Amino acid sequence: MSANSLQVLAAAGKGESTRTALRVIILCLIAAAAVSSRLFSVIRFESIIHEFDPWFNFRATKYLVANGFYKFWDWFDDRTWHPLGRVTGGTLYPGLMVTSGVIYHALRALTIPVDIRNICVLLAPAFSGLTAFAAYLLTNEMTTSNSAGLLAAAFMGIAPGYISRSVAGSYDNEAIAIFLLVFTFYLWIKALKLGSMLWGALCALFYGYMVASWGGYAFITCLLPLHALVLICMGRYSTRLYVAYCTWYALGTLASMQIPFVGFLPVKTSEHMPALGLFGFLQLLAFLDYVRSALPSRQYQTFLWLFAGGTFGLGLAGLVIATSAGIIAPWGGRFYSLWDTSYAKIHIPIIASVSEHQPTAWPAFFFDLNFLIWLFPAGVYLCFQQLADEHVFIVVYALFGSYFAGVMVRLMLTLTPVVCVAAAIAISTVLDTYLDARSPDPENAKAEEAVEGATKKASKSGLKSTTKPLVGIYSYVSKGVVVTAMTLYLLLFVLHCTWVTSNAYSSPSVVLASKLADGSQHIIDDYREAYQWLRQNTKDDAKIMSWWDYGYQIGGMADRPTLVDNNTWNNTHIATVGKAMSSSEEVSYPIMRQHEVDYVLVVFGALLGYSGDDINKFLWMVRIAEGIWPDEVKEREFFTPRGEYRVDDQASETMKNSLMYKMSYYNYNSLFPPGQAQDRVRQVRLPEVGPTLNVLDEAFTSENWIIRIYKVKDLDNLGRDHASAAAFDRGLKKKRAAKKRAPRVLRVE
């Protein structure tokens, strides 16, 4: 009975349609796994938008849903970058918001009313399922093995390198961009293999979507021409390549230029020049191809050399002239920092100050990719063995992906897909080889074991491919060991992924969680407490000054105008805020008056030991301000004579007088017995007498003192300066003696 049914099952497993059905089921399960592993944060906390940038995307999405697409396109946002405002509609990648908006309206049309917040929160997990499917398709183009695609899909679904940017609530551009990246690559391979204009056009279409979604589209823009160039250098120029590339480039560039933020960049900036150059080069190649068919070979040789040399020279001269004339923008700062990791540190502190722009530490590779990282070279090696056009792509992608991931932490994201694909190829090759129970039947195998060497040579033909399966896999022991090891690795990988996702990538960072002594979870909700206070207690147009990290959150959660935010488009404005924070009260006050600041918000972690606070970020504020006002703000003066960065009574005078220091430690002493004030982040004891504040009033301090909000005082009603007005309020009399000594200034009407 059971044997019968097994046979039926086995027979069914051999049918093509059953396999397809199985594949569909497996892919669905993988997608479900991908989605569900990203839901930790929703289950632990709530359905909430995470971190910083997602808050802006969420706010923009709400605007889009409320006002429609055209209003969104022309959106002038007067609640950020006060008083400059931001042409938001023209300076963002609208793909993410439009995607959510379309989903929202589609669901409403289907009479399923879903809150836009839930769509935003769950968009990234939903797209991760699609990414897994795209990885499946891409891998299937590389190998004939059926399992490789499924493995790649599974890896893609749960690899922490990708999960880090796509957990539920992480509503960022990368949420949909990685899917688009992988799918565009798949379409490119397809177009290249078939030489098909249709697939090329589809590739351009998805490339356009990618451009609309993420600034990282430049990766595709550079990788595809590079792939084409490598193919040409390998002597693999073909009409297939010509058709695929030209279709993609012409349509894709047109599509990308439709995005207001991109506009004419594809023909103006250096980042896009390789694609344009290769497009021209392919035309030349096609022309030469034609000429070769028309000319005798001797003449053709001279013609070729002259022509190639001339063209190259002309093109280079044109590029140099156009760059120096300013027609083509030179490489941007972010791009330079890709080649020289210390470039940003020296020249553009604002880029260096972002932690995700730092070079990657090597353990991060193991943390984010686990055992895939050592299978990755094996997969690339297997690609070398076959080395068709599509394998060249994987090799090129692997090379550049690894380099960029090494330079910048966040680019780990672009590396992950190729690692998954290569590792899946490697594993599937291993498993296909070792799981093949059928080839040598047991008796034969035993007999053959005795006369090992002889049988091998005697076996049927001299063709290498046919002898290959007979090498070394006769024993069930070795099969068993290898397969078990692989299975173990795979299981460990799953465990690792789940652990990393659960522990490292599922914190919303808006809400902090800590464990109490009894092991229960304690939620530290200071951020939302403070933002809610702002929302309820301040005027609708009260301007909040804070360091730019919190700009998006204030805009999103407190709904108040901010001076600077995470869209760091105006370095001078950020430096102005940095100057206000790092100068003394007398210098800061006019700046705050000029910018109509009503409240100042600082993040202060000393009570709780929360290390991501403003005092720890303070040197970046100083550096950025120094970049604009080198005479007024000097980083050196914030250090002690021995070069230490201190906040205790050894701190330098400039440090103690800076507004940031005063706002952070104002009244902090009152929490402790006299002389016992302790900074738990810097692990130092603070001066006995805390700082005094004259131009600001403390307005709000959150439960754990993480957020402190100060109100900027108005000018004194009686025309005194704030210091003397505050002194009078404290009951100090004006010193007349000091007045007497100085000659009186005569009054002139």
Paired tokens of 96:
């993410």
419 burial level (CB within 10 Å; 0-12, 13-18, 19+): buried
β-pairing, 543-545 vs 597-603, is: parallel
**Cβ(88)–Cβ(261) below 8 Å:** no
- Per-residue HEC secondary structure of 214-243 comes to CCCHHHHHHHHHHHHHHHHHCCCCCHHHHH
Q: Token pair of 116, please?
A: 């836009």
Q: Is 747 in the site for other proteins (CB under 8 A)?
A: yes
Cα–Cα distance measured from residue 541 to residue 672, given in angstroms and rounded to the nearest whole number: 36
C-beta separation of 486 from 427 below 8 A? yes
Could you say which of 46, 74, 356, 559 contacts other proteins (CB under 8 A)? 74
CB 19: neighbour CB atoms within 10 A? 13
Which range of residues in 309-317, 485-493, 509-517, 737-745 is near other proteins by CB under 8 A?
737-745
Closest contact distance (angstroms) between CB of 278 and other proteins is 23
Distances (CA, A) of 438 to 2, 108, 430, 433: 22, 54, 16, 11
Please give the helix or strand (H or E) that residue 701 lies within, else none.
strand 696-701
In 269-296, where does DSSP find H-type helix?
A: 273-294
Site string for other proteins, 538-567 (x = CB under 8 A): ---x--------------------------
* From 104-112, 338-346, 672-680, 712-720, span contacting other proteins (CB under 8 A): 712-720
| Among 11-19, 502-510, 608-616, 732-740, the segment contacting other proteins (CB under 8 A) | 732-740
Among 87, 103, 407, 628, binds other proteins (CB under 8 A): 87
Q: How far apart are CA 489 and CA 378, in angstroms?
A: 15
**Is residue 69 a contact point for other proteins (CB under 8 A)?**
no
Q: Which stretch binds other proteins (CB under 8 A): 125-133, 217-225, 334-342, 716-724?
A: 716-724
| Dist. CA 133–CA 156, nearest whole Å | 9
Pair of tokens at residue 455: 């049988």
From the CB of 718, what's the least distance to other proteins, in Å? 6
Query: 621 with 658: CB under 8 angstroms?
Result: no
**CA dist., res. 278 & res. 293, Å (int):** 22
Closest CA to 199 of 258, 236, 240: 240
Instruction: State in angstroms the smallest separation of the CB of 294 from other proteins.
Output: 9
Say whether 560 sits in a helix, a strand or coil. coil
Q: Shortest distance, CB of residue 736 to other proteins, whole angstroms?
A: 7
- Of 22-30, 67-75, 182-190, 389-397, the window that binds other proteins (rule: CB under 8 A) is 67-75
Q: Which stretch binds other proteins (CB under 8 A): 118-126, 409-417, 626-634, 714-722?
A: 714-722
The DSSP secondary structure of 668-714, one letter per residue, reads: GGGGSSTT--EETTTTEEPPSSPP--SSEEEEEE-TTSSEEEEEEPP
Which of residues 164 and 576 has its CB atom nearest to other proteins in the complex? 576
Q: How far is the CB of 265 from other proteins (least distance, A)?
A: 17
Stretch that binds other proteins, among 183-191, 425-433, 446-454, 717-725 (CB under 8 A): 717-725
Length of the chain equals: 749
Residue 719 near other proteins by CB under 8 A: yes
Which residue lies nearer to other proteins by CB, 59 or 595?
595
Residue nearer to other proteins on the CB measure, 715 or 723? 715
Site membership for other proteins, residue 716 (CB under 8 A):
yes
84 binds other proteins (CB under 8 A): yes
Select from 44, 268, 711, 720 the one that contacts other proteins (CB under 8 A). 720
User: In the complex, what is the shortest distance from the CB of residue 4 to other proteins, in angstroms, rounded to a whole number?
Assistant: 58
Nearest one of 230, 327, 313 to 273, comparing CA atoms: 327
CB nearer to other proteins: pick between 75 and 620? 75
Task: State how far the Cα of 434 lies from the Cα of 478, in Å rounded to an integer.
Answer: 8
CB 710 within 8 A of CB 600: yes
744 binds other proteins (CB under 8 A): yes
745 binds other proteins (CB under 8 A): yes
Q: SS3 letters for 595-617?
A: CCEEEEEEECCCCCCCCCCHHHH
Question: Taking the complex as a whole, how short is the minimal distance between the CB of residue 690 and other proteins, in angstroms?
Answer: 24
Residue 246 sits in the site that holds other proteins (CB under 8 A): no
**What is the C-alpha radius of gyration for the chain, rounded to an integer number of angstroms?**
32
Question: Is there binding between residue 734 and other proteins (CB under 8 A)?
Answer: yes
Subset of residues 582 to 601 that bind other proteins, contact rule: CB under 8 A: 594-595
Smallest gap from residue 202 Cβ to other proteins (A):
23
Q: Which among 161, 166, 159 is positioned nearest to 128, based on CA atoms?
A: 166
Q: Are the C-beta atoms of residues 346 and 620 closer than 8 Å to each other?
A: no
395 CB contacts (<8 Å, ≥6 apart)?
380, 383, 384, 387
Options 81-89, 348-356, 504-512, 636-644: segment touching other proteins (CB under 8 A): 81-89
What the block records as the tokens of 119 is 């769509």
Q: How far is the CB of 70 from other proteins (least distance, A)?
A: 8
Report the C-alpha gap between 171 and 103 in whole angstroms.
14
Which are the contacts of 455, defined by CB distance < 8 A and separation ≥ 6?
Answer: 448
Distance CA 444, CA 543 (A): 84
Identified binder of other proteins from the candidate list 109, 477, 718, 742, rule CB under 8 A: 718
Query: Binding to other proteins by residue 297, rule CB under 8 A?
Result: no
Burial of 316: CB neighbours in 10 Å, binned 0-12, 13-18, 19+: exposed
The span of 131-139, 154-162, 354-362, 729-737 binding other proteins (CB under 8 A) equals 729-737
Q: Residue from 325, 736, 737, 741 that binds other proteins (CB under 8 A)? A: 736
Are 240 and 284 contacting, i.e. CB atoms less than 8 angstroms apart? no
Q: What is the number of other CB atoms lying within 10 angstroms of the CB of residue 203? A: 29
Rank residues 190 and 595 by Cβ distance to other proteins and give the closer one. Answer: 595
Q: Residues binding other proteins: what is the number (CB under 8 A)?
A: 33
Torsion, CA 583, CA 588, CA 594, CA 597, rounded to 10: 110
**Closest to other proteins by CB, 19 or 734:** 734
Binding of residue 715 to other proteins (CB under 8 A):
yes
Q: How far is the CB of 205 from other proteins (least distance, A)?
A: 22
Residue 742 lies near other proteins (rule: CB under 8 A): no
726 binds other proteins (CB under 8 A): no
* Contact between 462 and other proteins per CB under 8 A: no
The answer to whether residue 717 forms part of the interface with other proteins (CB under 8 A) is yes
Scanning 297-305, 359-367, 607-615, 725-733 for contacts with other proteins by CB under 8 A, the matching segment is 725-733
CB of 471 to other proteins, least distance (A): 41
- Report d(CA 133, CA 153) in Å as an integer: 6
Expressed in angstroms, the distance from the first to the final Cα of the chain is: 116
DSSP code of residue 556: I
Q: Is 83 in the site for other proteins (CB under 8 A)?
A: yes
For other proteins, which is the closer residue by CB, 14 or 539?
Answer: 539
Stretch that binds other proteins, among 85-93, 374-382, 545-553, 704-712 (CB under 8 A): 85-93
Q: Determine, following the binding rule CB under 8 A, whether residue 78 of this chain makes contact with other proteins.
A: yes
Q: How far is the CB of 87 from other proteins (least distance, A)?
A: 5
Part in contact with other proteins (CB under 8 A); list of ranges 38-46, 167-175, 337-345, 731-739: 731-739
Kindly state the smallest distance separating residue 728's Cβ from other proteins, in Å: 6
Q: Pick between residue 739 and residue 741 the one whose CB is nearest to other proteins.
A: 739
Residues that bind other proteins (CB under 8 A): 70, 73-74, 76, 78, 82-85, 87, 90, 260, 293, 541, 594-595, 715-720, 728-729, 733-734, 736, 739, 744-747, 749
